Structure 1
Amino acid sequence: MHLRITARLFATAATPLACLIAIPASAQEEPAENVLDGDHLTVGVGAVYVPSYRGSDDYVVTPIPLVRGKFKGVDINPRVAGVALDFIPDDRESGIGFSLGPVATASFNRSRRIRDDVVRAAGKLDPAIEVGASAGITKYRVLHEYDALTLSADVKWDVNGAHKGMVVTPAISYATPLSPALVAVVAVSARHVDDDFARYYYSVTPEQSAASGLPVYSAKGGWDSANASMLVNYDLSGDVRDGGLSLFGIANYSRMLNDGKDTPFTAIRGDADQFIVGAGVAYTF
């Protein structure tokens, strides 16, 4: 019996937060059939309360679409407004698993639902389509037979001509079943951005300053945020391994750093402390 975890909880304002876990086994006796051992799909929907843009102190409710599964040995893992594929099957008997594959996400930061009139006056931004690679390593049976510790990172580049930059998001997550029906995941992550990204989202150009009244600001790349997250998933049948309906809840705290914190969009009009809470329902078959 082993635990397989995929949990990515990166806070992104004004973007659906996608996160989901799958547990092929847990404590207690084995069920007659474990649907998560073979090809399967989990779909779900929920809602989260999130900042209206990264660094905002205004909040909006936005939906969470959830899709996760496995097909022909390829894991389909959710990302924030996107998806990642893992082409490396785990050798769970060894206690170590690896992941590697493409990742693609969409970012709608400051492209819609901006509540602050001053920030809105500075102008909406174009959505970014970020494509790259995801890799990770998982250690099974860390503290007991059924938990897992994962170290991973996504490296992505904007291909839509928005920020035109690169984003790196390393993360560490720990997952453990609390019962056959209840699983908890905690994670910490950070985000590093290049100069192109920082200029696009955090700089205030003379034109934006004239339109909004915010001071001119020139941003540069670096670590722009750090995050701590928790997810809990409860299977309504009493066992996560037999599929069916489940409920999930999520909570995330993000702290804007460096130019992500010092930009007038955050320092004057927003707040460096960012919170996300949400809940939803999923179905596995």
Structure 2
Amino acid sequence: MMDFMGWSRSKELRIIRRSLGMRFKAYSLMLSLGLGMASSVSAADLNAAPVRTTTTNGWIITLTGNVELGPNFPGSDKYSVFGYPSIDYRRIGEPARWSAPDDGIDFTVFETPNFRLGPVVRWEGGRYLSSDRQLFGLRKVHWTVEPGVFVEFWPADWLRTRIEIRHGIDGHDGLVGDIAADLVQRAGRYTFSIGPRVSFGDSNFANAYFSVTPFEASLNGLVTPFKASGGITSAGALASVSYMWSEQWSTTAYAGYRRLVGDAADSSITRRIGSPDQFTVGAALSYSFVFAP
């Protein structure tokens, strides 16, 4: 098995939008943020092949097209398909470091062969009446930028663990986080991964997406008043498989499932309008080439 600890930093845009109405705005901002992160780890690394080159100066650029099916908003039972581009780049001679499809966009400030930490950012979709007419009377939740920090540790070359802690800006102003572990195995041209996921959020986050005031309940007619508190919000798993067709072309497919728990599952929004079962399916195609000015 290839030593995954030798894989280098890569950079990729990862924008998961749950609100169809805000996806193009999200794409514009995240693209401009991502182009400035030369050493960040991708949120959906496609295991770019070691493109052959005779020069040692320059960059290996990986362009990716992504398509994903996911819930319209946290707790929704309605899904949308959307696409977005992404870009990775690393210096010639640096192998690609593996990362999971659901990682946030990060920038490494300190690393050893099996440890990394640095800033990270994610994007949480909003909740809008246009995505589900049953939301009538409930507050609108704007899309949210979530900057924070990440810590990643590989206790073995086949096992990666990662923690992200972030704080919302605008849509919700809560503290949120994700804990992940991935079993990673390379077999010829294939790279497989699978692992558990746990997400948490404080009361500010839970209140934004899952609380219902008596006034909102009276307007909506479907939900009942509910006061959500923070804690573990979901638990699940994610699996992915990548295939390198050639030194330039590779594809990745992934699927994930999360089950809302605690107040996120008990909310009348989840029980009467949405669902505690949250599925995600995605695929990506990438092309790598050498850029040597």
Aligned-partner Cα distance in 2 for 1:34–1:22? 21
2:141 corresponds to which residue? 125
1:280 corresponds to which residue? 284
Aligned-partner Cα distance in 2 for 1:14–1:183? 31
Q: Give the aligned residue type for 1:2.
A: D
Distance 1:174 1:81, change over 3 A: closer
1:86 pairs with one of 84, 108, 117: 108
Distance 1:231 1:14, change over 3 A: farther
Tell me the C-alpha RMSD between the 2 structures: 3.5
Q: Secondary structure at the match of 2:107?
A: strand
1:139 corresponds to which residue? 155
Q: TM-score, normalised by structure 2?
A: 0.76
2:204 corresponds to which residue? 196
- Summarize deviations over 1:58-105 as a string: whole Å, max 9, x none: 1111224434443698989787595111233443xxxxx101110112
- Summarize deviations over 1:140-165 as a string: whole Å, max 9, x none: 44xxxxxx2111101111133x3211
How many residue pairs end up in the alignment? 258
1:51 pairs with one of 58, 71, 81: 71
Aligned-partner Cα distance in 2 for 1:130–1:69? 23
Alpha-carbon deviation of 1:265?
Answer: 1.5
Q: TM-score, normalised by structure 1?
A: 0.77
Alpha-carbon deviation of 1:193?
Answer: 0.5
Distance 1:22 1:193, change over 3 A: same
1:167 pairs with one of 176, 183, 190: 176
Aligned-partner Cα distance in 2 for 1:187–1:128? 26
Distance 1:71 1:159, change over 3 A: farther
Map 1:216-227 onto structure 2 (within 5 A): 216-227=225-236
Q: 5+ unaligned residues in a row in structure 2: which ranges?
A: 24-42
Answer yes or no: is the 8 Å Cα contact 1:6–1:20 preserved in 2.
no
Runs of 4+ in structure 1 over 4 Å off? 9-16, 31-35, 71-82
Alpha-carbon deviation of 1:112?
Answer: 7.3
2:45 pairs with one of 6, 13, 20: 20
Distance 1:140 1:70, change over 3 A: farther
Aligned-partner Cα distance in 1 for 2:236–2:196? 6
Matched, 1:186 2:202: no
Q: Give the aligned residue type for 2:68.
A: V
Matched, 1:110 2:127: yes
Q: Secondary structure at the match of 1:86?
A: coil
Q: Give the aligned residue type for 2:86.
A: L
